[in-house]
Structure 1
Amino acid sequence: MCVSDHVRVCESHGLISDILQTQTSLADLLLRSLEELTEDELTKIKYNLIHLAYEKYQQIPRGQLENLDRMGIADKMIRSYGEVGALKVTLQILKKMNMNDLVQRMNEDLQKGNHAF
């Protein structure tokens, strides 16, 4: 039996589990990328989230980021932008910070997971 939620997905074809695995992987990728940052780099990520000017994504107020650790930042970004949006914003900020090696590794991880991004 198929379930409708903007797109028809049929459990018998395993599409739901594929979607859930992808979503979990995107969140994990975001967290792993934040874990690779130094404290100074993490502070710059927070600064960029506070002063964000990227596509349709809204700035996150300073007070909502100040005391968050990496996991908290990832969670806040996902709740604010969705998983795909959080990764897009992260990649954009990392490019702005000239962290091209990390951007490249993240893009490679996305391609390995066959994520539509």
Structure 2
Amino acid sequence: MEDRGYPTDPGPGPAVSGGSFEVDPENIQKLIDGLNEAIDELNDISRDATSRLGQLQPPGADDYSTGAVRLITDRVLEDDGAHGAANKAFREALEATVDNLTTTLNEYRRIEEENSQIGNIDV
């Protein structure tokens, strides 16, 4: 293996203290809004797929072709079907993320409100 001049054991990294970060509630709200738009688009995709598959014509007029198209359509759109399951899982993940971000944002605002009242306490 080629020696690139890196130590084999770099040891512990530098000590970090006094770190801070900044939360921008406006950006969190924008993210929530964007995720809600994605959920709406996902719902539109599901409706479109249902509509298009509902118009699918069998390749022949026989009972087997008609039954096959119906069966394929049902399997694709059911909650455990390929399209239905993927959309359901994606929607649930997006909704859970929105819920978590909303909870975080509300908690942040609550704490900020409490902090703003610290200097305003009458004794």
TM-score w.r.t. the length of structure 1 is 0.31
Query: Of Structure 1 and Structure 2, which has the larger fraction of its residues in strand?
Result: 1
Q: With CA pairs under 8 Å and 6+ residues apart, which has the higher RCO, 1 or 2?
A: 2
